[in-house]
C-alpha cells in the first residue's frame, strides 16, 4: 500500500532513503532549507557521489513519486510519516552527537502536524533521543505524534543496494499505530526477505551504535595484528583467513588498512562510549578501540618514514584520500591524519583520489594534487596507497617506477600483487607481512 512520506534533509542518508522509498512505490517529498541545493537536485545535480543514486533519483522524479521542496510545513501536513535525516556531527568539546538540527526539525514538524503523524529518527542519534522527543510532544496540547526510531545501516558506496536489499529493518516505537505504519512502509522489502525487528526506541537506538562499535572493534583488532605480524614475521592476511574460517568470527571486516574512518564508525563509537560513561556503565573495550584506531594512523606515518629513511625533504605520492573506495567522503578519513603528519614531518606530498579531492582541499594544507594517479610518482621517494580504489590495483607500475626518484611502494591496503611490484622494479612494503625489497 503506497504511503505519503516526508524526508527532511537531503544529505547522504536523506537523499538515498527518499529515493529508495519512492522506488518502493511511496509518494515521497524530500525537504531541505537550502534552496540552492534543492534547485541543483531538481536540475539533475546530485550533491554526493553514490553509485546508482543519480539514476534512481532521475527515474523516481520522472515517475512522479519523488519531489523536492523547501516548505517543511506543507510537506509535513501532507505526510503520514516524517523522517528526520539531518546531520548529527560530533560536538567539538565532548564528541557527542550534536542534536541541534534534529530538535529544530522536530519542532518544525510539531508546529505543522495535522492529524496523526509518525515522527521517525533516521539520523544517527544517541540512546535517549526518543525520550527527549516524546517529552517535547508532551509539552504541547492537541497533537497526535508518535516517535519512532528507525536507524539506517547504509554503507557508503553500497547505499542504494543496502536499502533495497536490507538485511534487517529495525523499528523502535511505543505506539502500535506507528509500528504498523512502519511495517507497511517496508512491506515490499519484508516480502523479499528483509528481517523486521520491532522493539523499544532505546533498544533500536543502541542497535545502531553497538553495531558500528563492534565492526570498529574488528577493524582495530586486525590492524593491531598486522603490526604484530610485521614484528614476528607472520602474514596478517593468512592470519585473518584462518580466523575467518571460524563461523563464530567470520571473514568480514578482518582486512587491515590505515585505520577506519567515515561519518559513522568514529562518531558512533565515541557517542556510545560517552553514553555508557554517562549511564555509569563504561565500555572499556570501545574506549580502547578508539585509542587503538588513533594510534594506528600515527603508526602508519612511522612505517612510511622508516621505509624512506625519514620524512624531511622526501617527496611522497599518495593514492587515495577518501576513507574508503566508492565514495567521495573524507570525514574522519585516515588519509587526512596521515597526510597532515607527513607534511608536518617535512615531506612534500602530492595526492590523487578519483572522487574525493575537492572535498579534501579545504582540509589539507601544503600538498599538491595530481590529475591522474600515475602523476603522484613524479620524482617521488615513495608512493603510498591509502584507499582501496580498484583501479589502483591495475596501474602501470613499471611506468610509475620510471617516474620515481626511489622505487618504494608502500601499500597500506595490500592491493598490489607482490610479483607485479617486483616485476616493475619496486620495493613493496605491504601492511602486516614481509616487505619485498
Strand, coil or helix: what is 202? helix
Q: Encode 9-56 in three state secondary structure.
A: CCCHHHHHHHHHHHHCCCEEEEECCCHHHHHHHHCCCCCCCCCCHHHH
Nearest to 297 by CA among 374, 384, 362, 427: 384
User: Taking the CB of residue 169, how many other CB atoms lie within 10 A of it?
Assistant: 20
Sign of CA dihedral 64, 65, 66, 71: positive
| Residue 251 DSSP SS3 | coil
For the annotated binding site, the residues are 32, 37, 88, 124, 153-156, 208, 253-257, 261, 267, 324, 331
Nearest to 364 by CA among 412, 330, 324: 330
Q: Distances from the Cα of 229 to the Cαs of 256, 338, 375, 418, in angstroms?
A: 11, 21, 32, 17
Residue whose entry in the numeric block shows the C-alpha cell 563464530: 248
- Alpha-carbon 335 to chain mean position: 14
Count other Cβ atoms within 10 Å, centred on residue 328. Answer: 20
User: What distances in angstroms separate CA 96 from CA 87, 90, 115, 125, 172, one per listed residue?
Assistant: 13, 5, 34, 9, 21
Which residues carry a binding-site annotation for substrate?
153-156, 208, 253-257, 261, 324
The string over 390-425, giving b where at least 16 C-beta atoms fall within 10 Å of a residue's C-beta and e elsewhere, is eebeebebeebbeebebbbbbbbbbbbebebbeebe
Whole-number Å distance between alpha carbons of 125 and 149: 9
Q: What are the residues facing 149 on neighbouring strands? A: 121, 172
Find, among 56, 59, 65, the residue nearest to 4 by Cα.
65
User: Which of 332, 411, 350 is CA-nearest to residue 156?
Assistant: 332
Whether 264 is a known active-site residue: answer: yes
Strand-pairing partners, residue 436, are 428
Of 208, 225, 320, nearest in space to 265 by CA: 208
Choose the catalytic residue: 17, 30, 229, 264. 264
Give the residue numbers marked as catalytic.
Answer: 264
Amino acid at each position: 500500500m503506497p504511503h505519503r512520506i516526508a524526508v527532511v534533509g537531503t544529505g547522504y542518508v536523506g537523499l538515498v532513503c527518499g529515493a529508495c522509498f519512492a522506488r518502493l512505490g511511496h509518494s515521497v517529498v524530500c525537504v531541505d532549507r537550502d534552496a540552492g541545493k534543492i534547485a541543483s537536485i531538481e536540475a539533475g545535480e546530485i550533491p554526493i557521489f553514490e553509485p546508482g543514486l543519480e539514476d534512481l533519483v532521475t527515474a523516481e522524479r520522472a515517475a512522479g513519486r519523488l519531489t523536492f521542496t523547501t516548505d517543511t510545513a506543507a510537506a509535513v501536513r501532507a505526510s503520514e510519516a516524517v523522517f528526520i535525516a539531518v546531520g548529527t556531527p560530533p560536538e567539538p568539546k565532548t564528541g557527542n552527537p550534536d542534536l541541534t538540527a534534529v530538535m529544530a526539525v522536530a519542532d518544525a514538524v510539531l508546529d505543522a502536524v495535522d492529524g496523526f503523524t509518525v515522527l521517525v529518527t533516521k539520523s544517527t542519534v544517541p540512546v535517549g533521543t526518543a525520550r527527549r522527543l516524546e517529552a517535547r510532544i508532551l509539552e504541547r496540547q492537541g497533537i497526535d505524534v508518535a516517535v519512532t526510531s528507525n536507524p539506517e545501516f547504509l554503507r557508503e558506496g553500497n547505499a542504494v543496494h543496502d536499502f533495497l536489499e536490507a538485511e534487517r529493518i529495525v523499528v523502535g516505537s511505543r505506539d502500535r499505530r506507528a509500528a504498523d505504519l512502519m511495517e507497511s512502509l517496508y512491506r515490499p522489502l519484508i516480502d523479499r526477505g528483509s528481517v523486521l525487528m520491532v522493539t523499544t526506541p532505546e533498544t533500536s537506538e543502541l542497535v545502531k551504535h553497538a553495531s558500528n562499535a563492534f565492526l570498529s572493534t574488528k577493524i582495530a583488532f586486525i590492524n593491531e595484528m598486522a603490526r604484530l605480524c610485521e614484528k614476528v614475521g607472520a602474514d596478517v592476511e593468512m592470519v585473518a583467513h584462518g580466523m575467518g574460517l571460524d563461523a563464530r568470527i567470520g571473514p568480514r571486516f578482518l582486512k587491515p588498512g590505515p585505520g577506519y574512518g567515515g561519518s559513522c564508525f568514529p562518531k558512533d563509537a565515541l557517542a556510545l562510549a560517552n553514553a555508557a560513561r554517562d549511564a555509569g556503565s563504561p565500555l572499556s573495550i570501545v574506549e580502547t578501540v578508539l585509542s587503538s584506531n588513533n594510534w594506528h594512523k600515527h603508526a602508519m606515518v612511522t612505517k612510511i618514514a622508516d621505509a624512506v629513511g625519514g620524512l624531511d625533504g622526501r617527496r611522497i605520492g599518495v593514492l587515495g584520500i577518501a576513507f574508503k573506495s566508492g565514495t567521495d567522503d573524507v570525514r574522519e578519513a585516515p588519509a587526512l591524519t596521515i597526510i597532515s603528519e607527513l607534511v608536518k614531518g617535512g615531506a612534500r606530498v602530492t595526492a590523487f583520489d578519483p572522487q574525493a579531492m575537492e572535498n579534501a582541499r579545504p582540509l589539507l594544507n601544503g600538498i599538491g594534487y595530481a590529475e591522474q594517479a600515475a602523476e603522484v610518482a613524479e620524482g617521488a621517494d615513495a608512493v603510498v596507497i591509502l584507499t582501496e580504489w580498484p583501479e589502483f590495483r591495475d596501474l602501470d607500475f613499471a611506468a610509475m617506477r620510471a617516474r620515481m626518484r626511489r622505487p618504494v611502494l608502500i601499500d597500506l591496503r595490500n592491493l598490489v600483487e607482490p610479483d607485479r611490484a617486483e616485476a616493475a622494479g619496486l620495493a613493496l612494503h605491504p601492511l602486516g607481512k614481509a616487505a619485498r625489497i
